Every structure is written in C-alpha cells, then in structure tokens.
Amino acid sequence: MASKEVDRQLLFTYLEGNCSQDQLLQIREYLHDEAYRDSLNQFMEEEWEHSNHGQFPPLAGVEDQYRKFTAAYIAPRGQHRKPARVIRRIAAIAAALLLGAVSVWLLLPRLAGRKAHDAATQWLSWHNEPGQHREILLPDSTRVYLGPAGTLRYWQNDVRSRLIQLEGEAYFVVKHDARRPFTVATGALSTRDIGTEFNIRYYPGEPTIAIAVASGKVQVLHTPAAASSAALPEPAPLAALTAGQLLQYDSQTRQSGITDVSNPSVIGAWRKGILSFRRQRLKEVTDELQHYYGVSFRYSDTAAKDILITTLLDDKNLGDALDIVSLTAGVHFTREGTSIMVK
C-alpha cells in the first residue's frame, strides 16, 4: 500500500482548535487510513524534537482514566476477550486520544511563544505590488483573488468569526458557515456573507467603495461617524445586495446608491485580465490602469479627468490598452518609463 503525506499546516490548525468541519473530516482520515501512519508519526516525532524535550506539566487524571479503561476493556484471566470489531474500535479511539494528548504537549511551547507577542503579530497579511495579483486559500476554505496594489489581513486566532480587512480590490468565493459569519471590513463599510461570491473595491484615498455581488447575497453594514472620541458606534445595516447588484458608497458624502449590473459576468472579470468601464470618468479609468499595470498618470489639463468613456480591455498589454483608451477618450498619452502624461 502506497504511503500518503499528511498536510502539516492542517495538523497545526487542528492542534490550535481552528479546524472547519471539512478539515476535521480530513484529520479523521489521517487517523483511520493506514497510508498516512508513517507520515503522521514522522510529523509528531519532528515536532517533539523541535520542542527540545521541554518540561511539561502532567496531564490531569491520566492514571485514573487508564484504570477505568483496563477495568472495562481488558478481561481478567479466565474471562472471554472482547470481539475483534470492538478491539478495532478501541484502537481507533486510542489513536485519537493519543494524538490529543501529544497535541497538548506539542502545543504548549507554541502557546507560550504566542503569549509573548503583541496583538499585531496575530494578523496574517498578504500584499500585492502594483501589477501583481494572487489567489489565496484561507483556513476556512474561502478562496480570495487579491488584485494589484491590494492588501488583505486575516485575524488568525478568531475562532468565533471570520474577519477580513481589505485595502484594494478582491474577489471572494466564500465557504458559507451560518455559525461563523464571514465579514470584510473596508473603511466605513463592512460586508457580511450570506452565502455568495462578490467583488469589493476599496483603495484608501479614492472616494468610492464598490461592492458587487456575482451570486448569492451579502449584507452591507455602515459605521456612522462617532459623536465623540469616546463613542464607538455600532455598525448599522445599510443594504442587502443580491446577485447582479452593485453598491457604490461615497466616503466623503457618506451617501450610497444601488444599481443593477447589466452584464453580471463582468463582476470580478479583472481576475482574467478583463477590465470593463461603462460611462466612467477618465480619471477612474487611469486609476484602475495604475493599479493593474504598475504605472502612474499625470494630467496636463485637469478637465480631461471628467471625460466619460465606455470601453473593454480584454487581456491587453499596456501599450494596446493605452491605444484603445486614447482613441475612445480623444486624448494623447506620452509615456516615459512608468510615468504617463495625459494631454
């Protein structure tokens, strides 16, 4: 029988008590499938060596539990033994208990080290430079496509809720869990999953936060301005969005509007290199190109920023994209390296 390798990161997640239901099923397979035995034993031995054989406190009640176990399952001389199927069941339970006991020993040094760090070290963070994007699989099996010049932070020790902080643009394919809501915080807004796929765009410094739902629905919450520095207002429901709806929130006026997306397939299409603009100001278009291609734009005439254009850039390189926008908007681009002048 060919041996299989365990997922060590998943085992660490299990030891810290943060597994999802699907992940717990995988852990159960590790315990019951003989093909994982060698890999699992190697993992535990290496972690024990890594812990430097430190002094650990005794596990309370182990001796008493063992006496109860022997009294119940080990037959005295002259009595019949338990049937084989019961023995196999006991062995499986013993394996699970053994992993649980060893996990306590292995986890103690990690917990002690964690207490020595401040709260800032408990966030996991991903950042893309302009022109870069990546796909991230979160511990709860949620898939995130993080766009160019974006930053995503995940609170790794929060077992009650799944809180994400986003600066930039990202597309979320959420693993729904009614007991543990998935929430994305972006400035004054929080977006809570109700079983869906959605796209959020929030770049600090840009006035608009945009939330578009590709499937399912989300609840958008708004944090009102505090009356004083001591007041911490609770988020209030702002809108419930369903598939094909777009919410745009103006951070300066704190006003929002909801529109229907004429072609829902364009939601999150940037993941495939498709940039779609519909009656948008040229400044919004060039801001998007800045993030996507890692360039910067300057305007010789600020009035050009308000030119409205509609266009589609389907997996174009920077040169082709500039040619299309130039013809559509009636402007001229002068490029020097990564700096582009709009005339």
| pLDDT at position 214 | 93
Residue 79 identity (one-letter amino acid): Q
For residue 32, the model assigns a pLDDT of 75
Cα dihedral: 257, 263, 265, 268 (round 10): -30
Q: Which residue did the predictor score with more confidence, 119 or 252?
A: 252
pLDDT range class, residue 19, cuts 50, 70, 90: low
Q: How confident is the model at residue 65 (pLDDT cuts 50, 70, 90)?
A: low
Q: What percent of the chain has pLDDT over 90?
A: 33
Q: What does the alpha-carbon distance between residue 163 and residue 167 come to, in Å, rounded to a whole number?
A: 14
pLDDT at 120 over 50: no
pLDDT-derived band at 25 (thresholds 50, 70, 90) equals confident
Does residue 55 have a pLDDT over 90? Answer: no
* Least trusted range by pLDDT, from 16-20, 69-73, 251-255: 69-73
278: left (phi over 0), alpha (psi -120 to 50) or beta: beta
Token pair of 65 as six digits: 């539990």
Concatenating the DSSP letter of every residue in 189-254 gives: EEEEEEEEEEEEEE-TTSSEEEEEEEEEEEEEEE-PPPSSTT--PPPEEEEEEETTEEEEEETTTT
Give the span between the Cα atoms of 225 and 285, in whole angstroms.
30
Instruction: Kindly state the average pLDDT of the residues 240-252.
Output: 92
Of the pLDDT bands very low, low, confident and very high (cuts 50, 70, 90), residue 15 is low
Encode pLDDT of 128-137 as tens digits: 988 888 999 8
Q: Which CATH architecture has domain 273-342?
A: 3-Layer(bab) Sandwich (3.55)
Rounded to the nearest integer, the mean pLDDT of the chain is 77
Amino acid identity of residue 336, one-letter, is E
The pLDDT tens digits for 282-321 are 999 999 999 899 899 999 998 999 999 999 999 889 999 9
For residue 182, what pLDDT band results from cuts at 50, 70 and 90? confident
Q: Who wins on pLDDT, 53 or 305?
A: 305
pLDDT of residue 45 exceeding 70 = no
Higher-pLDDT residue of 42, 301: 301
> Above 70 in pLDDT, residue 201?
yes
As a whole number of Å, the end-to-end CA separation of the chain is 69
User: What is the dotted CATH code of the domain comprising 121-266?
Assistant: 2.60.120.1440
pLDDT band for position 105 (cuts 50, 70, 90):
very low
Domain boundaries, the chain: 8-115, 121-266, 273-342
pLDDT at 76: 53
Is 94 a residue whose pLDDT tops 70?
Answer: no
Bigger pLDDT: 57 vs 37:
37
> Rounded to two decimals, what is the model's pTM?
0.60
Query: In whole angstroms, what is the distance from residue 1 CA to residue 73 CA?
Result: 31
Whether the per-residue pLDDT at 87 is higher than 60: the answer is no
